[in-house]
Amino acid sequence: MKITVSSVDITRVRTDCLVIAIHENGGDSPSARKVEKATSGLIRTLVKAGDIDGRAGSVLMVPAPHGIGAKRLILVGVGQKPDADDFANAAASAARRLCATRSTSAVLTLAEISASGIDQSARARMLAQALHDASYRFNQLKTTDDKKGARAECTLKRVTLLPGTGRTAAATKTGVKEAAAIASGVTLARDLGNLPGNLCTPSYLASQARKLARSHGLRVSVLNETKMEALKMGALLSVSRGSREPARLIVMEHHGGKRGEAPVMLVGKGLTFDAGGISLKPAGAMDEMKYDMCGGASVFGALVAAAELKLKLNVVGIIPSSENLPDGAANKPGDIVTSMSGKTIEILNTDAEGRLILCDALTYAERYKPAAVIDIATLTGACVVALGNPATGLFSSDDKLAEELLACGESARDRAWRMPLWKEYQKQLNSPFADIANIGGRTAGAITAACFLSRFTSNMTWAHLDIAGTAWHSGANKGATGRPVPLLSRFLINRATAR
């Protein structure tokens, strides 16, 4: 789908669908007034009849409206005095409804609606992202007609957003451009996440990284297990030993900043299937553990967005990738392994494997002398219990970095919530036999997991994002969400432009 910004006469434009906003209780948008005039009062008639009331997110499609050039008209409610939530809600409903028509072209006027707390470029970005989101399908593994109905491909090809006047025209273009790059990243992250474990293996992820080297000009290198052994990555290798698929450590670099400038590092958990190992998980919903590489997928996505926007920033992505399976060679509870940092780890639960592969990747990250390192991981079920689906868990010993990430989550509508990393929790990781245990007991599971990672990042400005609750949806609409690519992209865009 190509989204462009251009001013057109909305009453005369020949398009498959015109989308306009209507407010609850009057106060109509300029576009609504124009359409009202051209159609001799169509909107008022529909409101009077009770077909639409302007509540945020309510939507009505009118086929073949008289008096205007568009083949269809979609009216979408934005509420009375829309805030960011109302606007997002309206954008999502409009985009979904639009994709459910067979339109190939559309003109959207929604960005003209003022909404408190979001500026013109944010509105354009949200609208464009909603369109990209609504048109996402994962049909690549289907061979039958099931592609019809709800899963039918969205037919939209050309979408026009009205630019607004003066300075808002440039802002609209900026928003649309950012949205396109972020959507590329989100789409890639969703595709990788949705692929099952038999197809999306560590080697497959490595091959996808090499593909991005060609398509996006990233510098990519992949460490195999021999290299990891040479680096003494004993924690990562101990997880991989229980699997037939060899581990990979994928490194992707975007060089947009000055030569020698300290990079932002993103380290993503790329566990392509987590059965728990010898501490085997229960069978129910175990299929969802194919999503255990979504942290890694979000690093792919953020690098794609950075490359497409040609951000003037150095960014390095590292993805430790492995499976976690039960096997004769797998980790056993009680095993003690030596990490790359030299610290010994007592593995009390083989299902706490994410921190084992991440700790070696984080130690490896140190050699890049990063400006900041952010790891992203589907790390704990405890984080899902604490925060549910709305928020990613954010942990950092650096208040400034934490604030920066929280703000990025807000403006990208991909929110995180900060959790404590107090010293008191650290003692839950004490081990009588090794330097540290890999689990911290029954309570505060998301926090003790973060505490574990903090032991390997004391020399860096570091934050940890636990995306166990946000990376995918379960149930009828199951699938990867692409989160937190929007948050990470915002972070990179801000870092690249704030100098």
Query: Which residue is catalytic, options 281, 312, 343, 418?
Result: 281
Centre a 10 Å sphere on the Cβ of residue 215 and count the other Cβ atoms it contains: 9
- In angstroms, what is the minimal distance from the CB of 324 to ligand BES? 7
Interface characters, 254-273, with Zn ion (x: CB under 5 A) = -----------------x--
- Tell me the C-alpha distance between 53 and 69, whole Å: 24
151 is catalytic: no
**Is the distance from CB of 305 to CB of 485 less than 8 angstroms?**
yes
Q: Which DSSP letter does residue 163 get?
A: -
Helices (H), 338-437: 354-365, 381-387, 399-411, 423-426
Distance of closest approach, residue 425 Cβ to ligand BES, in angstroms: 13
In angstroms, rounded to a whole number, what is the distance separating the alpha carbons of residues 220 and 242?
A: 27
| 274 part of the interface to Zn ion, by CB under 5 A | yes
290 labelled catalytic = no
Counting contacts by CB under 5 A, is residue 245 touching Zn ion?
no
Contact between 483 and 470 under an 8 Å Cβ cutoff? The reply is: yes
CA angle 94, 65, 41 (to 5 degrees): 95
State the minimum distance, in angstroms, from the CB of residue 271 to Zn ion: 5
384 binds, among Mn ion, Zn ion, ligand BES, none (CB under 5 to 8 A by kind): ligand BES
Q: Which is nearer to ligand BES, 253 or 351 (CB)?
A: 351
Give the separation between CA 14 and CA 11, rounded to whole angstroms. Answer: 9
The listed partner (Zn ion, ligand BES, Mn ion, none) that binds 428, CB under 5 to 8 Å by sort, is none
Q: Is 12 helix (H, G, I), strand (E, B) or coil?
A: coil
Kindly give, in sequence order, each residue whose CB lies less than 8 Å from that of residue 161, ignoring residues fewer than 6 positions away: 3, 4, 5, 108, 111, 124, 127, 128, 172, 176
Out of Zn ion, Mn ion, ligand BES, none, what residue 466 binds, judged by CB under 5 to 8 A for its kind, is none
Distance CA 405, CA 348 (A): 32
Q: How far is the CB of 446 from ligand BES (least distance, A)?
A: 8
Q: Which is nearer to Mn ion, 178 or 353 (CB)?
A: 353
Residues 253-282 within binding reach of Mn ion (CB under 5 A): 274
Least gap, CB of 435 to ligand BES (angstroms): 18
Which lies closer to ligand BES via its Cβ, residue 50 or residue 282? 282
Q: How far is the CB of 353 from Mn ion (least distance, A)?
A: 5
List the end-to-end C-alpha distance of the chain, in Å, as a whole number.
Answer: 33
Does 292 bind Zn ion (CB under 5 A)? Our answer is yes
For residue 323, state whether it binds Mn ion (rule: CB under 5 A).
no
Which residue lies nearer to ligand BES by CB, 75 or 275?
Answer: 275
Run of H or E residues at 216:
helix 202-216
Question: Are the CB atoms for 360 and 306 separated by under 8 Å?
Answer: no
Residue 439 contact partner, candidates ligand BES, Zn ion, Mn ion, none, CB within 5 to 8 A by sort of partner = ligand BES
Give the pairing of strands 392-396 and 462-466: antiparallel
**DSSP H helices in 376-484:** 381-387, 399-411, 423-426, 445-454
Q: If binding is defined by CB under 5 A, does position 351 make contact with Mn ion?
A: yes
From the CB of 439, what's the least distance to ligand BES, in Å? 4
Select the binding partner of residue 445 from ligand BES, Zn ion, Mn ion, none (C-beta < 5 to 8 A, by kind).
ligand BES
Q: Please give the structure tokens belonging to residue 356.
A: 């084992």
Q: In whole angstroms, how far apart are CA 37 and each of 41, 277, 295?
A: 6, 67, 51
Residue 382 binds what, of ligand BES, Mn ion, Zn ion, none (CB under 5 to 8 Å, by partner type)? ligand BES
Choices 138-146, 236-244, 353-361, 397-405; region in contact with Mn ion by CB under 5 A:
353-361
Nearer to ligand BES, 368 or 456 (CB): 456
Q: Closer to ligand BES by CB, 311 or 450: give it.
A: 450
Which of ligand BES, Zn ion, Mn ion, none is residue 436 near (CB under 5 to 8 Å by kind)? none
**Looking at beta carbons only, is 245 or 274 nearer to Zn ion?**
274
| Helix (DSSP H) and strand (DSSP E) numbers for the chain | 15, 20
When the beta carbons of 452 and 491 are compared against ligand BES, the nearer one is: 452
Interface residue list for ligand BES (CB under 6 A): 274, 292, 349, 351-354, 378-382, 384, 439, 445, 468
108: its two tokens? 């959207």
User: In the range 66-105, which residues lie near Mn ion by CB under 5 A?
Assistant: none
Place of tokens 């599971």: 445
| Nearer CB in complex with Mn ion: 266/352 | 352
Find the shortest distance in angstroms from Cβ 381 to ligand BES: 3
Q: Give the one residue of 57, 77, 197, 354 binding Zn ion; rule: CB under 5 A.
A: 354
Stretch that binds Zn ion, among 32-40, 53-61, 209-217, 291-299 (CB under 5 A): 291-299
CA–CA distances in Å: residue 450 to residues 32, 317, 337, 387: 51, 19, 19, 15
Give the active site residue among 125, 177, 269, 355.
Answer: 355
Tell which residue, 311, 320, 401, 321, has the closest CA to residue 361: 320
Residue 154 buriedness (CB in 10 A; 0-12 / 13-18 / 19+): buried
Shortest distance (Å) from residue 385 CB to ligand BES: 9
Question: Which residues are tagged catalytic?
Answer: 281, 355
- Binding region for Zn ion (CB under 5 A): 271, 274, 292, 354
